[in-house]
């Protein structure tokens, strides 16, 4: 396993703490509700904590959220995810990041065709 130094993920998480605290001060009601929503999403149920973190990580990658990636990689690791599980989850993230784009691209072409047909009368 090789390691790269493209980004310092643990430092990113640590460096975001002051900014997140400021956001909590500036929008306390919204951030309280966000915290409560996160707690509800992480509650026990049919899915275990590791699975939920892997799902969040896949979504973080598909939506291209660097801070989300660092938080959910560490969350998944803390809940027992190994490198192979992270890699397999990333395979799904890549697939879903590309698949939805293809579906929306088809819809964009359909929208164009409908507007063009309407304009042509």
| CA–CA gap between residue 89 and residue 85 (Å, rounded) | 6
Question: What pLDDT digit, counting tens, does each position of 65-91 carry?
Answer: 999 999 999 999 999 999 999 999 999
∠ CA(97), CA(98), CA(103), 5° rounding? Answer: 105
Claim: this prediction has a pTM higher than 0.85? no
Question: What pLDDT digit, counting tens, does each position of 16-71 carry?
Answer: 999 999 999 999 999 999 999 999 999 989 999 999 999 999 999 988 899 999 99
Higher pLDDT, 11 or 4: 11
């Amino acid at each position: 396993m090789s390691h790269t130094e493209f980004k310092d993920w643990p430092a990113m998480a640590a460096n975001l703490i002051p900014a997140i605290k400021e956001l909590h001060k500036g929008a306390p009601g919204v951030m309280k509700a966000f915290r409560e929503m996160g707690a509800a999403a992480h509650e026990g149920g049919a899915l275990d904590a590791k699975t939920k973190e892997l799902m969040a990580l896949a979504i973080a990658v598909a939506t291209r959220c660097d801070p989300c990636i660092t938080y959910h990689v560490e969350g998944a690791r803390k809940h027992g995810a190994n490198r192979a599980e992270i890699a397999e989850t990333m395979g799904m993230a890549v697939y879903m990041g590309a698949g939805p784009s293809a579906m929306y691209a088809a819809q964009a072409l359909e929208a164009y065709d409908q507007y063009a047909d309407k304009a042509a009368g």
